[in-house]
């Protein structure tokens, strides 16, 4: 069983940064140890020691806070969030909601790979040819950075060819300090044949301009002044016969 840790959903997360992944061996659970602390102990798959601000247990952080915000191309913060395993059971994909990246781990060796959700190729970042989020970005506020997917929870398709990812909007209902994005909807990530890499090929864009709820604070982001209130938080795939 894999689990991850990102920034806190509370206000404390406004200047926190964390990207860490652990794994538990479920075969290590023994009779009489259920619920006891430390049974079984987790193995650390990966931690980004350069950006973790929290130190505890087997986590190491370089400092107590990170005040670089969440603006694309400026922020150095990280936020490990949604994750899922590939259809072949070999690779774990884990999103970084702030950096718009997908970290990928071999579930046996823990070797790390990755790709970005901002470029057309998935390998050239914001300096490359823009990916699908750019064309579907909100444009009613010139201050809002474009091509900012802000990926959240996701699930793969049964055939193993795609990952369907919830993409947050410019007025996030929750976790405003790390979830502001520019193309709210469901992102379609096409996995390459080895399922180790992928690229964002389209966004099923959602919109909600009926809701006129006031915008909450967006620490480290943009005080969005537009009308879009769509904010997709999770995506699941239902297989029908």
In a domain, 221, yes or no: no
Which residues are 18's β-sheet partners? 79
- Write out pLDDT tens, residues 117-131: 999 999 999 999 999
Give the least confident one: 29-33, 44-48, 67-71: 29-33
- DSSP structural state of residue 12: G
Helix, strand or coil, per DSSP, at residue 14: helix
Domain count, the chain: 1
Bridge-based pairing of strands 80-85 and 101-106 is: unpaired
Backbone angles phi, psi at 223, to 5 degrees: -75, 80
In a domain, 224, yes or no: no
Contact at 8 Å (CB) between 180 and 148? yes
Contact at 8 Å (CB) between 224 and 182? no
Torsion sign over Cα 106, 113, 71, 232 = negative
pLDDT of 56 higher than 80: no
Q: Which domain holds residue 185?
A: 71-205
Distance from C-alpha of 124 to C-alpha of 116, rounded to nearest angstrom? 7
| pLDDT interval class at 34 (50, 70, 90) | low
Distances from the Cα of 74 to the Cαs of 67, 99, 195, 221, in angstroms? 11, 10, 30, 11
CA 154 to chain CA centroid, nearest Å = 9
Give which of 167, 186, 185, 160 is closest to 239, Cα–Cα.
Answer: 160
| pLDDT interval class at 57 (50, 70, 90) | low
In a domain, 121, yes or no: yes
Residue 91: CB atoms within 10 A of its CB come to: 22
In a domain, 165, yes or no: yes
Bridge-based pairing of strands 91-96 and 101-106 is: antiparallel
- Write out pLDDT tens, residues 132-183: 999 999 999 999 999 999 999 999 999 999 999 999 999 999 999 999 999 9
In a domain, 94, yes or no: yes
- Write out pLDDT tens, residues 201-222: 999 999 999 988 888 889 999 9
Helix, strand or coil, per DSSP, at residue 132: helix
Tell me the pTM: 0.94
In a domain, 83, yes or no: yes
Q: Which pLDDT score is estimated for 39?
A: 78
Instruction: Give the burial string for 121-148 (b: 16+ CB within 10 Å, else e).
Output: ebeebbeeeebbbbebbbeeeeebbbbb
Q: Which pLDDT score is estimated for 237?
A: 94
pLDDT of 62 higher than 80: no
Q: Which pLDDT score is estimated for 214?
A: 84
Contact at 8 Å (CB) between 82 and 93? no
In a domain, 26, yes or no: no
pLDDT of 41 higher than 80: yes
In a domain, 9, yes or no: no
Q: Which pLDDT score is estimated for 40?
A: 81
The whole-chain average pLDDT of the chain stands at 93
């Amino acid at each position: 069983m894999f689990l991850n840790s990102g920034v806190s959903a509370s206000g404390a997360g406004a200047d926190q940064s964390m990207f860490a992944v652990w794994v538990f061996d479920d075969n290590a659970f023994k009779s009489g140890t259920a619920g006891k602390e430390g049974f079984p102990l987790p193995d650390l798959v990966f931690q980004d020691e350069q950006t973790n601000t929290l130190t505890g247990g087997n986590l190491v952080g370089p400092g107590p806070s990170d005040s670089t915000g969440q603006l694309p191309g400026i922020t150095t913060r990280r936020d490990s969030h949604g994750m899922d395993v590939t259809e072949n059971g070999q690779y774990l994909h884990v999103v970084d909601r702030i950096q718009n990246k997908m970290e990928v781990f071999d579930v046996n060796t823990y070797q790390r790979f990755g790709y970005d959700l901002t470029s057309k190729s998935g390998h050239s970042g914001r300096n490359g040819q823009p990916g699908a989020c750019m064309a579907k970005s909100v444009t009613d506020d010139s201050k809002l950075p474009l091509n900012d997917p802000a990926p959240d929870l996701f699930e793969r398709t049964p055939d193993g060819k795609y990952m369907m990812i919830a993409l947050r909007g410019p007025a996030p209902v929750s976790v405003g300090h790390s979830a502001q994005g520019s193309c709210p909807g469901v992102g379609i990530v096409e996995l390459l044949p080895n399922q180790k890499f992928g690229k964002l090929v389209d966004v099923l864009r959602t919109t909600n301009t009926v809701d006129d709820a006031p915008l909450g604070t967006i620490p480290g982001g943009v005080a969005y002044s537009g009308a879009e209130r769509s904010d997709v938080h999770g995506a699941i795939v239902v297989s029908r016969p």
